[in-house]
Amino acid sequence: KREQALEKKAEKLKEKEKEYEVKVKALKEREKSIKSEEKDLVQEKDKIESEREELLNLKTEVEKLRANNEEELLRINEETNRLQVTEEERQQKETFEREWDELDLKRADVEKELKNVLQQKEDILKLQQNEEEKLKNEKKATEDYLQRELETLKLAKESFAAEMELEK
């Protein structure tokens, strides 16, 4: 009877060991998945950084255009003041001012869009950081769980070995 009981215990321990092996395999797959997600997040971060640099370049370009337009406007205003305004010149001035106003509106739209895109980028970076932190915490929890399970299995083996030794 004792032998049968010991064999049953040994069988149960083998079953538990198999269960732990399955769990370990699943945990390794999860870790692999987490590493893949981390790699994807790094790529997304690089892409966002590249887009941010591109947006900053566009902003610089818009600022240069604005500065050039303002210089041109000042030059035209000075020239207009020096000359006697004829009807034709007045009409040209009105057309120019209308176009200038349209350019101002377009510039305002571009600046608004740039601000919006920069905000979106900042939000995405925050989200990415949160995801990275979450993945890191999940990985740590998984490793801690695996360590506890392995320790439990080790203690069960030692206990079984001690029982076997006592029964001898």
Q: Residue length, the chain?
A: 168
pLDDT exceeds 90 at position 168: no
Q: Which SS3 state, helix, strand or coil, does residue 19 take? A: helix
pLDDT tens, position by position, 15-39: 999 999 999 999 999 999 999 999 9
Residue 85's pLDDT band, with cuts at 50, 70 and 90, is low
Q: Are 149 and 20 in contact (CB under 8 A)?
A: yes
| Residues 90-146 pLDDT 10s | 888 899 999 999 999 999 999 999 999 999 999 999 999 999 999 999 999 999 999
Handedness of CA 134, 138, 144, 148 (dihedral sign): positive
Tell me the pLDDT tens digit for each residue of 126-135. Answer: 999 999 999 9
* CB environment 19-48: b (16+ within 10 A), e (fewer): ebeeeeeebeeeeeebeeeeeebeeeeeeb
pLDDT > 90? residue 77:
no
Find tokens 């950081």 and name the residue.
129
Under 8 Å between Cβ of 100 and 73: yes
pTM value?
A: 0.35
Which of 1-15, 98-112, 142-156 has the lowest average pLDDT?
1-15
Cα 1 from Cα 8, distance rounded (Å):
10
pLDDT at 87 (0 to 100): 67
